[in-house]
Structure 1
């Protein structure tokens, strides 16, 4: 018999109401904003669930589709923080007709309308607002892993704040949102390439949903708002559905069988303020679906702002205010309102009850949380699910998930698994095992510390000599990106062309007209692997923006920082992204700042090794490779005294034989040695691993000389 679920899981808003009622039970208590024990209740309830129960009982919204989420159901949202809005003030509590305090916290309920002669007794509270997007470039297998066996969330009791009878006559979600499930199949890189080239991404399920919602809302302007229930949201000038969603990689097409992922406007409460741009979070809460909300917010804002604008104009001119002045100010203000308050059918609201920091790798490791295999290290102190709460992050010590631990069995299996991975990665590289080894190093690399502005641990590689010309350009990069997406939890394929570089800024930039951070394709989650396709470049002229984008790519790769354009100043955000660039040149790539290069020596046609998906035992082998890569990337390394002394002597000898070797060269060799150890399932760096790294460098240098 299945264990009974905690009440906070089956009736989240009812739990909040009960805790609030208990907090205001005393006549002297009043209705003050606070926690009321909500965080403790939900953290305790969530920690009691196993990882599998968490997936089955609290589904991820993009696994089941937001249109299938019942009002008030407890759901999860895996996301990246794309933008941070100003705090929002809202009616958090009010007295009902019977004199009882009610709370609207964790809902989109606007509170009671003022009755004539009866001003409502209400409390104005504050909450934090974030714009969060699905993890850019997240692989289909991660989404399937998290949504396996999940149906629609369980129904919740009828006493849900957003469904109170007589409040509002809200449209059904089925009428507000129409999903077109036929639009899935092609690879995500096709839509990304189209968007980067300025042609606009093909309209998939997500953009179709946005377009239909905007069209429906615009059509409703012709309807009479009898009872005040019709919804009217101005699409706003030339704003497109793509602009409304503001996704870093555009509207990525969903893989067969998966729904198009949607972003959310996330609302956080109390002291959950340790969140930064580009953070990856797993959120638990309730969706706020209120079709009338956007219009009501606009009506209130327009009326209020218009009054203030007219008053200011009147005072400045010492005569009755000009109506046009107020109207113009109104329109400018409404640009921001429209951008920040799109229809909930396009961008739902998500009210957070519990949160935890995550990374793409933690999702890949979720399947083994209940039965960890050899070498897995589970943080039992923080509970089965890694602990809920946004704990402070010290330097690079962000939560990374289970890693490798010293284990002879793991080292033995690591050698076998590494051979499988190298063979798998060699397929899109025409059978080139050396190039595959370098790509594996890039997959396992992460920035583990920063010294004097230098990121230690990163490893980017340029693959030179890729086939070029009609019918061949882009083949290797596309095949490599598809192959990496089968192994890695998050991959971004970015074709470089004159058109794509000139069309838009690749780094995020602040739009002060809408007070919004406009996403760029380099705004990615840490742990993402980026494949740059330089073979798409042809003769042409880069404009000022294009030159700046190339410089941004080089700086991004070298410093592992993303410089965001705020017009009056630049803000640099630390990242941890591995870059693999594919170039037709045999000497150097266009994008500088990568750590190593190797000339491709292909003996076969590049291909995606999809046969593993249908082979007997192939899925098990694939799962082993995925888990091994995720564990290895999360691991630390050590050097004992004996091996440290031997490596030091080897470095002195290398310096003597090659006086041109710089500090960066030695950093690269040590990084490659560490990655060679991790690739074999070992966490202790030895002289053998140093020798392996130096041999890889010797072979790569030999190829470069021959070319």
Structure 2
């Protein structure tokens, strides 16, 4: 079950109480494939500012003797504590507990424990993707172990994609990508992917299979069926409700490291209203800069994000400018089944390899710099964005083999993948 927590940090003085909203899921730690997918969902237009999926539960979490800075927006946190909820409890008007909530601006905090459950936190821990695979599957990421798992995962992705090996190669790099740094206007490490040539018929087969496979592999996933109606009605932007003091969730308020699949195959001609234009702009901004704009009524504030974006479309997306565009070319349709042990090893692989640091030897860096300069001289259409993307792909390729430094072999492998991609685009 997904729990929507309103965090309250207290140092013993109720007048210094702080609060913060988080979205956590205790079932993440389950090792079964069914439980792994419980928190993955499809985003539909929200009906009301405080609308959550039906399987959510609101709760006040009281955290003691802990600095407020330990909790950050969109962190995933595991809480262990004492849960209290008594729907038959009668609260008198002068209850001392109400006095503590007078210092809080959130209306929900004023509700007695007979209305809103409390969780008195004893232990809490910020969770990362590598915390979800069971510890029994954790092994040292030795190159020969990683290479073996890589081959089996790549075979699985190839089968899911209808025997399109090239698409599987790019999908693997996409699943390993993450924001590593932000330098001026450049977001280092992101690698969004736009698979084109989908139709409504093919997306019902391969698109659904791909979405299901990703949900089985990653701890946080979201899917958006993008249509004109969705853009015109959905609440994508998080906003502050100054009357209640709450941050109203939007569909783009996602945990760091979330994978977002956007299906454009049902997009038809239509007119976007003002909300639709704003939502399209939010999605474009997230794709390009990995930031989400939050509305605080009197001003707007950009928050850093780390979201893997996969776009399924008939032609190149006009809304989402992905880093990579690749026509999808399946040749077979076959049932794809994966065993529990395989799934666990793939989950461990993706979580572990994705967190590996990346570096390159001075000799390799000098050689790559020289090749990039030559490439820009030979083809004036090649810009710094293209070269940064190739470098990111090369680093991800090295990481996919369990290596922490970029090698010449993997750089040449990426150049060959890029050549094949451009041939398919012709």
Match of 1:192 among 42, 49, 74: 42
What is residue 365 of structure 2 aligned with on the other side?
644
Distance 1:296 1:689, change over 3 A: farther
Describe the SS at the equivalent of 1:145: coil
Distance 1:147 1:457, change over 3 A: closer
Question: What are the ranges of 5 or more consecutive residues in structure 1 without an aligned counterpart?
Answer: 1-61, 63-77, 93-122, 149-183, 201-238, 252-259, 304-334, 376-409, 614-618
Does the aligned pair in 2 maintain the 1:134–1:262 contact within 8 Å?
A: no
- For residues 541 and 476 of structure 1, the distance between their equivalents in structure 2, rounded to whole angstroms, comes to 29
- For residues 483 and 684 of structure 1, the distance between their equivalents in structure 2, rounded to whole angstroms, comes to 29
Does the aligned pair in 2 maintain the 1:583–1:589 contact within 8 Å?
A: yes
- For residues 604 and 659 of structure 1, the distance between their equivalents in structure 2, rounded to whole angstroms, comes to 39
Is 2:76 the counterpart of 1:280? yes
What is residue 422 of structure 1 aligned with on the other side?
154
What is residue 265 of structure 1 aligned with on the other side?
60
Q: CA deviation at 1:555?
A: 0.5
What is residue 701 of structure 1 aligned with on the other side?
422
Describe the SS at the equivalent of 1:420: helix
What is residue 326 of structure 2 aligned with on the other side?
598
Does the aligned pair in 1 maintain the 2:280–2:319 contact within 8 Å?
A: yes
Distance 1:481 1:347, change over 3 A: farther
Is 2:245 the counterpart of 1:515? yes
Answer 1 or 2: higher relative contact order, Cα 8 Å, separation at least 6.
Answer: 2
What is residue 680 of structure 1 aligned with on the other side?
401
Q: CA deviation at 1:358?
A: 2.0
What is residue 443 of structure 1 aligned with on the other side?
175
Structure-to-structure mapping, 1:303-452, within 5 angstroms: 337=107, 339-341=108-110, 347-364=116-133, 366-368=135-137, 372-375=138-141, 410-452=142-184
State how many pairs are aligned.
423
Distance 1:655 1:571, change over 3 A: same
Question: What are the ranges of 5 or more consecutive residues in structure 2 without an aligned counterpart?
Answer: 100-104
Q: CA deviation at 1:501?
A: 1.3
Q: C-alpha deviations, 1:595-615, integer Å up to 9, x for none? A: 11111111123x672x223xx
Does the aligned pair in 2 maintain the 1:494–1:533 contact within 8 Å?
A: yes
Is 2:300 the counterpart of 1:570? yes
- For residues 651 and 575 of structure 1, the distance between their equivalents in structure 2, rounded to whole angstroms, comes to 29
What is residue 461 of structure 1 aligned with on the other side?
193
Greater per-residue strand proportion: 2
- For residues 392 and 93 of structure 2, the distance between their equivalents in structure 1, rounded to whole angstroms, comes to 53
The two structures, once aligned, show a CA RMSD in angstroms of: 3.6
TM-score of the superposition, structure 1-length normalised? 0.54
- For residues 10 and 31 of structure 2, the distance between their equivalents in structure 1, rounded to whole angstroms, comes to 35
Describe the SS at the equivalent of 1:564: strand
Q: C-alpha deviations, 1:479-520, integer Å up to 9, x for none? A: 211101111122111111122211132121122233221111
- For residues 98 and 68 of structure 2, the distance between their equivalents in structure 1, rounded to whole angstroms, comes to 30
Q: C-alpha deviations, 1:502-541, integer Å up to 9, x for none? A: 1132121122233221111111111111111111212222
- For residues 526 and 270 of structure 1, the distance between their equivalents in structure 2, rounded to whole angstroms, comes to 26
Q: CA deviation at 1:288?
A: 2.8
Q: CA deviation at 1:445?
A: 0.7
Distance 1:546 1:344, change over 3 A: farther
TM-score of the superposition, structure 2-length normalised? 0.87
What is residue 537 of structure 1 aligned with on the other side?
267
Q: CA deviation at 1:672?
A: 0.2
> Which structure has the larger Rg over C-alpha atoms?
1
Does the aligned pair in 1 maintain the 2:4–2:56 contact within 8 Å?
A: no
Does the aligned pair in 2 maintain the 1:450–1:456 contact within 8 Å?
A: yes
- For residues 509 and 80 of structure 1, the distance between their equivalents in structure 2, rounded to whole angstroms, comes to 16
Q: CA deviation at 1:650?
A: 2.3
What is residue 612 of structure 1 aligned with on the other side?
338
Does the aligned pair in 2 maintain the 1:490–1:529 contact within 8 Å?
A: yes
Q: CA deviation at 1:584?
A: 1.1
Does the aligned pair in 2 maintain the 1:79–1:282 contact within 8 Å?
A: no
Match of 2:221 among 464, 476, 491: 491
